[in-house]
Amino acid sequence: MEKRVTFRNLLVPYLLVAAQLAVTLVFFIWPAAQAVRQSVISEDAFGLSQHFVWLDNFKRLFGDPLYLHSIEISLLFSAAVAGISMATGLLFATAADRVLRGAALYKTMLVWPYALAPAIAGVLWLLLFNPTIGILAYALHRLGYGWNQLLNGNDAMVLIIVAAAWKQVSYNFLFFLAGLQAIPRSLVEAAAIDGARPLKRFWTIVFPLLSPTSFFLLVVNLVYAFFDTFGLVHATTEGGPAQATAILVFKVYRDGVIGLDLGGSAAQSVVLMVIVGLLTVVQFRFIEKRVVY
């Protein structure tokens, strides 16, 4: 869609976009291009000589069991976070769509965790799961499970999944609630008159009609789990114990900033770029279809 009436001026528009364009080129496009360039060259430790190595960095990367492990746990982590937070968000939204009294208060009580930084969310759960003083760790001990996220990789993974999902429930709740409220009442009423009970109505009418919302949320949640959880991992488990929670965004940071492996880190950056690029394209393809102007 375009405006028919516009201003005719050749200098002003460039001045208007100058700031945005400058920041974008200097801090986004140029560094991204550098990452792509570094991923196909090999540089000695002093940066004195460099030569083109084609896809050697990528071959090395995908031949590294630690990186493959990182991909595996990232997929597990993202699937778990998206699954748990979406299911919980949908449950709360369905309940909130039904109640009339106190709806506004419930909404407030369910949306506030969105405001937390993932790192802060992680720190709160770190206290709850602290092996010596945490009340959840204590409860698990009483139930006979010796919880210790500092020693057990699975426990550490559960910790970051729970913290990441907890923060994201609010988001899914809000979007599912909007989706539910957009479903025409007449459809549900017609089914009720035909004798369909609430649970049947939910699975045969409401849930299918929510599929665009669900698909959109799935993509957003995957982006969140893949890219926004760096702080959570860094502030709680630091990728440990024994790399058990070194998801891709954490690994690219550690190999690059701490390990100073330029080529390897650049190759990891490019892999992440491809992932976020694909997710963004999928998201926009879908939104183009959905939004009606």
Partner 1 sequence: MVESRPLLTLFSHGVLILGAAVLFLPLWVAFVASTLSAPDFNQIPMPLLPGGHFWENYTTVLTQGVKSSGGLPVGPMMLNSLIMALTIAIGKIAISLLSAYAIVYFRFPMRKLIFWIIFATLMLPVEVRILPTYKVAADLGLLNSYTGLTLPLIASATATFLFRQHFLTVPEELLEAARLDGAGPWRFFRDILLPLSRTNIAALFVILFIYGWNQYLWPLLVTTDPAYSTIVIGIQRMVTVADATPQWHLVMATAVLALLPPVVVVVLMQRLFVKGLVETEK
| Binders of partner 1 in range 88-127 (CB under 8 A) | 88, 91-92, 94-96, 98-100, 102, 106-121, 123-127
Nearer to partner 1 (CB atom), residue 56 or residue 114? 114
Contact 245, 262 (CB under 8 A): no
Q: Residue from 55, 72, 182, 198 that binds partner 1 (CB under 8 A)?
A: 198
The DSSP code sequence of 185-253 is HHHHHHHHHTT--HHHHIIIIIHHHTHHHHHHHHHHHHHHHHHTTHHHHHHHTTT-STTTT--HHHHHH
- The reply to whether 46 sits near partner 1 by the rule CB under 8 A is no
* Residues in CB range of 175: below 8 A, 6 or more apart: 89, 213, 216, 217
- What character string, x for contact with partner 1 (CB under 8 A) and - otherwise, covers 215-244? -x---x------x--xx--xxx-x------
Q: Residue 57: which of 252, 254, 261, 257 has the closest Cα?
A: 261
Compute the least distance from the CB of residue 6 to partner 1, in Å.
5
Q: Residue 245: which of 169, 161, 134, 162 has the closest Cα?
A: 161
**How many residues does this entry show for the chain?**
293
Q: How far apart are CA 82 and CA 62, in angstroms?
A: 26
Q: Where would I find the beta strands (DSSP E) of 58-167? A: none
Nearer to partner 1 (CB atom), residue 80 or residue 272? 272
Q: How far apart are CA 17 and CA 22, in angstroms?
A: 8
- The reply to whether 87 sits near partner 1 by the rule CB under 8 A is no
Compute the least distance from the CB of residue 179 to partner 1, in Å.
11
- The reply to whether 26 sits near partner 1 by the rule CB under 8 A is yes
Q: Residue from 84, 90, 180, 249 that binds partner 1 (CB under 8 A)?
A: 249
Q: How far apart are CA 268 and CA 253, in angstroms?
A: 10
- The reply to whether 176 sits near partner 1 by the rule CB under 8 A is no
- The reply to whether 130 sits near partner 1 by the rule CB under 8 A is yes
User: Which residue in this structure is represented by tokens 């976020």?
Assistant: 276
Hey, which residues between 133 and 152 contact partner 1 (CB under 8 A)? 133-135, 138-139
- The reply to whether 9 sits near partner 1 by the rule CB under 8 A is yes
Compute the least distance from the CB of residue 112 to partner 1, in Å.
5
Q: Residue from 192, 214, 215, 243 that binds partner 1 (CB under 8 A)?
A: 192
Hey, which residues between 66 and 85 contact partner 1 (CB under 8 A)? none
